[in-house]
Amino acid sequence: MARKLTINDYKTNVWVDWCPGCGNFGILSAMYQAFADLQLDPEKTVVVSGIGCSGKTSHFINVSGVHTLHGRSLPYAEGIKLANPDLTVVVNVGDGDLLGIGAAHFVALGRRNVDLVVIMHNNTVYGLTKGQASPTLARGLHPKALPKPNLQDAVNPIGLAIASGYTFIARGYAARVQHLKELIKKAIQHKGSAFIDVLQPCVTYDNIHTYDYYNKRVYDLQEEGWDPIVKSLEEFPQKAAQALIKSYEGDGRIPIGIFLVNPHVPTFEERYAQRLPNYLKVPPAKEPIEVDGKTVITMRRFKELFGKYIIEFKQ
């Protein structure tokens, strides 16, 4: 493919049916720009999405898209990536999808460090089902769409990501598209599980966390000199603790940027490669299993493999 791809090449003709003004427009814009900057091959790139407004993202990007079940994007994404590690896999999920019904899978992915990117569209509500509190809405808050104030506390996504083992942890904001674009690029280039919590105003159901609200509060960690990189395994607990404390910052300040990067953890693919010498060279998706309709496990190979089960009789 000789021609350079532009952001227009990454758009589909599907009508973007998010509410006018939705924070998702910004996230989509950042994805288009990041994909174009990195010149991702559309055929080798897969966007996996869940259920919710963010779930529609895969239909708006002209790369392969897998619009999965509620809370299950990560297992789908892991299946895709582990069967063919040559694919670039980016997951777009909502906060409810990822940290409510999908929380078990979120934690499990952190333990594996599979090389993919998880972008969480964090709008504090379950938009498509009429605006119920999601796992990231703080207790006591009462967005107008809710009948009563929220009874449940918010989970700390950055903290949960740290404890689960994500090796690239960042936060972005839908109305700071340049900054978000760079985060997405770095996340894609990072080797391991990358998590980006993206603040996404919901213009229909959340009258609290508006663009104005975030504009007044977000600030760039890196601009304030925050160094997210873990220099050695020994340094990890201290760096992790600092990042955790930072993630609880209050006083009307919301840090965006990269919280933590840990390059010292082998990816899940690398761990498989330790036991499966051929895994990265010829992944499962590419494995030849037949020649002219005949199995590659010939009788000779079968006897070699399963010798200990076999008794052969002399005729």
Partner 1 sequence: MNELRYILGGPQGGGLETLSELLSWAYAHAGYGVISDREYFSNIKGRHSYIHATVSATELPRHLTYPVDVVAAMDAETVFTHFDDLRDGGYIIYNSDDDNVSFTSIPSMERDLRERLTSEFKELGVDGTVKSVVKYLQSNRKVRAVGLSFKELLMEIEKREGIVPSQASRYISTILAGAVAAITGINEEDLDYSLKRRFVREDLYRHNRAMANIVIEAVKGQFGSELKLDKSSVKVPGVLVASGNDIIAMAKTVAGVRFQAYYPITPAADESFTLEEYEALSGEGSIVVFQTEDELAAINAAIGAALTGARSSVATSGPGFDLMVEGLGWAGQNEVPVVVTYYQRGGPSTGQPTRGGQSDLLSSVFASHGEYPRIVLASGDHEETFYDAIDAFNYAETYQVPVIHLVDKFLANTIATIPLPNLDGIRIVRGNLAPKGLSGYKRFDLSSVISPRAFLGDYVMWYSGDEHDEYGHIDEDPINRIRMFDKRMKKLDMIEKEIPEERRYSYFGSERPDIVMVGWGFVKGAALKAIEELNGEGIKASYYHIRMFIPFPRESITKIAREVGVDKLVAVEHNYQAQASRLVAMNTGITIGKSVVKYTGRPIYVHELVNAIKNIMRGSVREVMSYGA
Partner 2 sequence: MVNENDEFVPHAIHTWFGYLKVRGVIVTRDEGAKYGQYARDTQERIKNALSTYGWVYCVDCRKPLFDLNEALEHAKRGHLLTNEFMRDEVAAEEVPMVS
Residues lying near partner 1 in the complex (CB under 8 A): 15, 17-20, 51, 53, 67, 69-71, 100-101, 103, 126-130, 132-133, 135, 147-148, 152, 204
Instruction: Match 């609200």 to its residue by tokens.
Output: 213
Angle between helices 103-112 and 73-83 (to 10 degrees): 30
Judged by beta carbon, residue 129 or residue 298, the one nearer partner 2 is 129
Question: How far is it, in rounded angstroms, from Cα 117 to Cα 208?
Answer: 28
Alpha-helix residue ranges (DSSP H) falling in the chain: 24-38, 57-60, 73-83, 95-96, 103-112, 157-164, 177-189, 211-217, 236-247, 268-275, 299-305
CA distances from 280 to 106, 112, 188, 265, 296 (A): 25, 17, 18, 17, 20
Q: Is there a contact between 177 and 23 (Cβ–Cβ < 8 Å)?
A: no
Q: Which residues contact 118 (CB under 8 A, 6 or more apart)?
A: 74, 77, 91, 93, 98, 106, 109, 193, 194, 195, 196
**By the criterion CB under 8 A, which residues form the site for partner 2?**
7-8, 11, 15-16, 19-21, 25-26, 28-30, 32-33, 51-52, 128-131, 144-145, 174-178, 180-181, 203-205
Residue with tokens 């998880």: 118
Q: Give 182's Cβ-side CA count (13 Å radius).
A: 8
Q: How far is the CB of 47 from partner 1 (least distance, A)?
A: 17
Shortest Cβ 50–partner 1 spacing (Å): 10
Residue type, 82: L
- Measured from the CB atom, the residue of 20 and 277 that comes closer to partner 1 is 20
Which one of partner 1, partner 2, none interacts with residue 148, CB within 5 to 8 A by kind? partner 1
Q: How far is the CB of 145 from partner 2 (least distance, A)?
A: 4
Q: Helix (H, G, I), strand (E, B), or coil: what is residue 257? A: strand
User: Residues near 188 by Cβ (< 8 Å), separated by ≥ 6?
Assistant: 34, 38, 40, 88, 90, 117, 194
Shorter beta-carbon distance to partner 2: residue 156 or 204: 204
Q: Which does residue 135 bind out of partner 2, partner 1, none, counting CB within 5 to 8 angstroms by kind?
A: partner 1
Helix ranges (DSSP H) in 16-156: 24-38, 57-60, 73-83, 95-96, 103-112
Partner that binds at residue 191, options partner 1, partner 2, none, CB closer than 5 to 8 Å by kind: none
Q: Give me the phi and psi of 154, to 5 degrees please.
A: -85, 145
Comparing CB distances to partner 2, the nearer of 180 and 230 is 180
7 binds, among partner 1, partner 2, none (CB under 5 to 8 A by kind): partner 2
Indicate which of partner 1, partner 2, none lies near residue 28 (CB less than 5 to 8 Å, by partner kind): partner 2
Shortest gap between Cβ of 206 and partner 1 (angstroms)?
12
Q: Which does 103 bind (CB under 5 to 8 A by kind): partner 2, partner 1, none?
A: partner 1
Q: In angstroms, give the least distance from the CB of 65 to partner 1.
A: 14
Minimum distance from residue 8 beta carbon to partner 2 (Å): 7
Least distance from partner 2 to the Cβ atom of residue 195, Å: 21
**175 vs 254, which CB is nearer to partner 2?**
175
Q: Give the separation between CA 98 and CA 106, rounded to whole angstroms.
A: 7
- The entry of partner 1, partner 2, none near residue 11 (CB within 5 to 8 angstroms by kind) is partner 2
Q: Which is nearer to partner 1, 67 or 185 (CB)?
A: 67
To the nearest whole angstrom, how small is the minimum distance from the Cβ of residue 118 to partner 2?
20
Closest by CA position to 192, among listed 239, 101, 260: 260
User: Choosing among partner 1, partner 2, none, which partner's interface includes residue 25 (Cβ < 5 to 8 Å by kind)?
Assistant: partner 2
